[in-house]
Structures are given as structure tokens and as C-alpha cells.
Structure 1
Amino acid sequence: MEIEVKNIEETKVAYVSVTGSYEQLPELFGEVVGYVMKDNLQVTEPPYGIYFNNPMEVPQEELKYEIGIAFIGDADGEDRVKIKNVPAHQAVSTIYKGPYGQAAQIYQALVEYTMKNGYEINGAVKEIYLNNPMEVDESELLTEVRFPVIKKS
């Protein structure tokens, strides 16, 4: 597994913030992707999920997460889909290959890399889904896993 610290440029995203079960994920991805397609926005990165708490520590109905997609263009959002700018930042990152539900197994390696290299994590984990589960076997799914970091002073 190759781990690196990346410089992430400022991006504009369409997103939905959710509290509740991960069973809603397919519908939420459809909602966000449908919004950017309907408004003919230029997508700059595959869809992502940011996960704010741990399903091993809180009940399903208390899970907090954000589903979104980065784009270029002008948009105001609608219904549950909101728009925001994500500032430029650094992130420790790696690519995981395999079923989505098992990507969390590499979180610890990212945390250890962060600590060993003089960084600290300053935000929630982001998973970027690089290919489509409708097009490849789950063993071939690629997920970029990122933690935002800052250099320790």
C-alpha cells in the first residue's frame, strides 16, 4: 500500500448531510449525481463520502456523514443538496482495492503514517469512490481514502 501526503486544491461541491443508516447511501449518491447532471455541471472528481463518526461506536440512526461530488460551474443547490467551497488543504491518502465496507481496515495505517511523519489529523475521513460498483466486481472497487492533515509545529 502506497501512502502519500497530497496537496488538495480548493473545490466546490454539491453535497447532502445526513444522520441515519448507511442503507440510504445508494439513494443519496443518486440524488447528488442527479443534481449535477441536471444542471449540466462539470464534475471534477468522483463521488465521495465523509464519515464523521464510527458505526462500531454509535447506533445506525446516529451515524453522521456527507455524500457529495466536486464540480465546476455555478449552482445554488436545491432541496437537500447544498453547495459549498472546500478550502485547499493537505491530506494523507492511499488507494484501497476491494469491497466498500472493508475500506476502513486501512484507516489505522493512515493514522500511523500521519503520526510518524510529523502530521496530525484535523478532520473526518473522506472516501472517494473511483469506479462504479455497477461496472466492476466488488473485489475490483477502488476507493481513495483521505484524512485531512496539518504539519505539527
Structure 2
Amino acid sequence: MPVDQIPIGTFSRITHLSQKALRLYDERGLLVPAARDICTGYRYYTYDQIERGIRIRNLLWLGFGLSEVEAILEARERGDAAMIQEHFARRLAENEREAGRLHAIAGALRKQQQDPFNGGFSMSITEPVIKDIPTVRALSLRERGIYQETIPRMIRELFTYVCPEDGRQPAARIAGPIMFICHDEEYRETDADIEVAVPITGSVSLDGTAVEVVNLPGGRFLSVLHTGPYPGVGKAYERLFSYMNEHRLVPSGPSRELYLNDPAEVPEEELLTEVQSPVKDLPPSP
């Protein structure tokens, strides 16, 4: 065996990549052995390939998938720094969202230790009430995406029309709380149909953007007020649908979440979310 050929077992030990993983990377063309024994098919690597192997291991440790690792290494080979930065920025954003989720879970677990029967969240829910809500004129933005990522970005974009960063006095003014409108019939981790709206008065110039001025339909709504962290809002929906079942009501359109205060200004346990669902009476049984 030539001196510069490293058996797969030794290469595995050096790079901390399993032999099973190395065989997979060979099949994908991600890390192809420099030589292969004709009789046994045994794989051999060179010392120059150690750096690539360790780079693959480090990228995997950072949470990149194999397709992303391939794209990053290809970008590195062609000197495309912008592409590499884009992959790392996206991965950083995903990690920060996950860190926030884990922080919230840790807080919920601490509260669960203090009160084993509160479900992990300090919260309160009012009794549902029926409201007659008028049609609401609003700035609206509707996209598909991930809730935790897309909603905050859409809110920031909408606010540029009513709170310009350059200090100009806007023509349109906020006339109610920010709301999220759910158009999906099921919960989606990704590719959710998300609409965010801000009620306004006055005129607004949209300059051909995806933002629209819409009239959100009014009507008969069942409403409940949730106080506490946003992940606990599911209990408000549970209470709404329980009330519907008790009073022979059914949803007649997309539900809405109205955010009545700012998470940057109040602690999680004081966050106020009003959940509204348009309803109609269930038809009498035949």
C-alpha cells in the first residue's frame, strides 16, 4: 500500500466520520476515495482528503444537511463567498429560533415544577363571548412560510407603511391591534398560509408591493382572551371549540389572533392574545 493511501478505517478514526457515513459520501460524490482495491473494493484515502473530511464533519455538527454541505463545498471550490454566507445566515436564523423555543420550554418546565397541574404555562383564559364585529379596513400581507419566522417579518414590513423609519409623518394610521389570520384547515410546520393584517385609517401608497389594503369581513364572532405566553394559546382554541360544541355553533371562516400588547414591552406571562372565530348556528338535525 502506498504511503499516501489511508485505509478507510484509519481515515474514519482521523476524521471522526463512521465508515458507514464515508460509504454514503462516496455514493453521493461528496467524498470519493482516492483509490479502491480492485479485488476487495476496499477504499483508500489520501492525506489531502483529511481536510475535506473534517470540514464535512464540522458542517454536519453545525446542523447542515448533506445537500447543504454539498452546496457549501461546491461554493467554496468556486470561490462563491456570498453563497456560503447565505447558507450560514439561514442556519444561524434557524438556530436562533430553536434556541428561543428551547428557552421557552425551559421556562415552562420550571413553572410545571412549581405547579404540576398548570400544563407548563402560567396563563388565564376568559369565558367565551359572542361579538358582532364590523368590517375592518386593514393593511394585509399574505405569504406561505414558517409561523415563527414569517409572522414577525411580515409585521415589520407592514409597520414600515404606518411607522416610516425615516421619520416622515404617515398618511395612514393604526386603528387596531395586529392580527394573524389562519387560512389553513390544519397545522403546518412549513408552507403555512399566513396572513398578517394591521387595521388602518387614512390613505396609503403601496408602490406595487405584495401589501394590500383589504376589508376584513365582519359578522358574528366567538371571542376569548388569553393571558400568557404565545405557545399556550392552543388552550384558548380548546375553550372556543368546547363552547361551540356546547352551544351548537360551527366556524364560518378563518380564525384570527389579535395581539393586544407588545412582547418587547411586557413579560411573557402578561401577553394578551384575543382569539376570534366567525361562527354560525349548526343546522337542526333532520
TM over 0.5: yes
How is 1:1-150 mapped onto 2 (pairs within 5 angstroms)? 1-22=126-147, 23-38=149-164, 39-53=170-184, 54-55=186-187, 58-60=188-190, 62-75=191-204, 77-78=206-207, 79-150=209-280
- Corresponding letter in the other structure for 1:9: P
- State the AA in 2 paired with 1:145: V
Deviations 1:44-94 (A, max 9, x none): 211010122343xx341x211101111112235341211111232111001
Counterpart CA distance in 1 for 2:273 and 2:157 is: 20
Q: If you compute each CA radius of gyration, which structure gives the higher value, 1 or 2? A: 2
Q: Which has the higher contact order (CA 8 A, sep 6+)?
A: 1
CA distance in 2, matches of 1:120, 1:5: 13
Q: Which amino acid aligns with 2:220?
A: Q
Please identify which structure carries the higher helix content.
2
Change (3 A) 1:98 1:129: same
Partners of 1:3 and 1:43 lie apart in 2 by 26
> In the aligned structure 1, how far is the partner of 2:153 from the partner of 2:178?
13
CA contact (8 A) 1:128 1:143 kept: yes
Report how many aligned residue pairs link the two structures.
150
TM-score by length of 2: 0.49
- The answer to whether the Cα contact below 8 Å between 2:151 and 2:194 also exists between their aligned partners in 1 is no
TM-score (norm 1): 0.88
| Identical pairs, percent | 27
Output the CA distance in 2 between the equivalents of 1:104 and 1:18.
22
Quote the offset at 1:36 in angstroms: 2.5
For the aligned residue pairs, the C-alpha RMSD in angstroms reads 1.7
Uncovered stretches (5+) of structure 2, i.e. residues with no partner: 1-125, 165-169
| SS of aligned partner of 2:242 | helix
Q: Which has the higher strand share?
A: 1
Secondary structure of the 1:75 match is coil
